[in-house]
Amino acid sequence: MTFARFIPFLTLFLISSFSHASPIFDWTSNNIQLLHGHDFKLGDESRTLVTIQHADGWRYGENFFFIEFIDRDDTGTAVYGEFYPRLSWSKITGKTPSSSFIKDFSLVGGFNGGSLPKKDPYKAYLLGLGVRFDVPSMDFLFLDIMAFKAENVHTTGIQITPVWSAPFQIGSLHFIFKGFLDWQSRKATGGSSTILTQPKLLLDVGQLLGNKNTFHVGIEYQYWHNKFGIKGITESLPQAIIMMTF
C-alpha cells in the first residue's frame, strides 16, 4: 500500500479509536498534522509528513505519544514514533510543591523508535525527572532531564528537553505558539552533541468558524544542529502545517 493510500485508513482508525474517551482518563487530546517542507539534509530535500499525536491525563500521571509517517522517494515511507509516560508527584502524594513557580514534579520514561525499508529499526530508551512550571499565560511548560540510551550506541548520555504551549490573541485572531527543544550529549548520540527544536506558530482557523481548537494552520520551523550526531550537518527549514484536533 502506498503512502497516499495509507493515510485515509490510518486517519479513520485513529478517529474511531479515540472518539470515546476511556473512563480511566481525566482528559484526552488527539490531533493529526500534515506538514510539508524543503531543504532537508541526508536524503530527499523535499518531504511530506503526517504526524498523529495523543496526550492524556489519568489518576497518577500523564501520557504522550506521537507517530510520524514520512514520504520519501529515496527510501520509501519512513515511520518514527516516541512515547513518554509521566508519573505525577502531586497526583500520587496529594501535595503541591511549596514554590509558586513550580506546579509539579514527575518521573518520566520514554521510548523512541523508527524504521526505514530494508534498514534495521532504531530504538532508544529514556528515564529521568521532569518539572512542570506554573506560568499563568501558558497552557504548560515542562523541563525534562533524562538519561538516554540508544541501542546502536554503546554509551549512555543525557537529554534535556523543555516543552511548551502558549496561546495568545491579536485582535480577534487566536494563535498558539508551541514546541520543544531536545539537547543530547555526545554520549547519547555516539557522535557530536545535538540540538533539535521544532517551534510552531498556529492560527486557530476553527475559532473563526465558530469551533475553537479544532482546526489550525501555520508554520513549523525545524532546526537540527549536528543532525543524528553528525558534526557539521545542520538542518534549518520552515514547514507548512495543517492540524486537526479531536
66 vs 110: CA distance, rounded Å: 12
Query: pLDDT by residue (tens digit) across 123-156?
Result: 999 999 999 999 999 999 999 999 999 999 999 9
pLDDT of amino acid 76: 78
Q: Is residue 115 part of a domain?
A: yes
**Distances in Å between the alpha carbon of 183 and those of 54, 192, 195, 199?**
23, 11, 5, 14
* Domain coverage including residue 207: 3-16+28-245
Q: Is residue 22 part of a domain?
A: no
pLDDT of amino acid 229: 95
Q: Closest by alpha carbon to 82, among 5, 140, 148, 154?
A: 148
pLDDT of amino acid 11: 56
pLDDT at 6 over 70: no
pLDDT of amino acid 1: 40
pLDDT at 239 over 70: yes
Number of domains in the chain: 1
Q: Closest by alpha carbon to 195, among 150, 230, 226, 164?
A: 226
Model pTM? 0.89
Q: DSSP assignment of 46-99, as one string?
A: SEEEEEEEEEEEETTEEEEEEEEEEE-TTT--EEEEEEEEEEEHHHHHS---SS
Q: Is residue 66 part of a domain?
A: yes
96 vs 134: CA distance, rounded Å: 11
Query: pLDDT by residue (tens digit) across 76-111?
Result: 788 999 999 999 999 999 999 988 899 999 999 999
Query: pLDDT by residue (tens digit) across 26-82?
Result: 899 999 999 999 999 988 899 999 999 999 999 999 999 999 999 877 777 889 999
Least confident of 98-102, 122-126, 193-197, 239-243: 98-102
pLDDT of amino acid 148: 98
Q: Is residue 23 part of a domain?
A: no
CATH number of the domain that residue 105 is part of: 2.40.230.20
Q: Is residue 172 part of a domain?
A: yes
**% pLDDT > 70, the chain:** 89
Query: pLDDT by residue (tens digit) across 162-173?
Result: 999 999 999 999
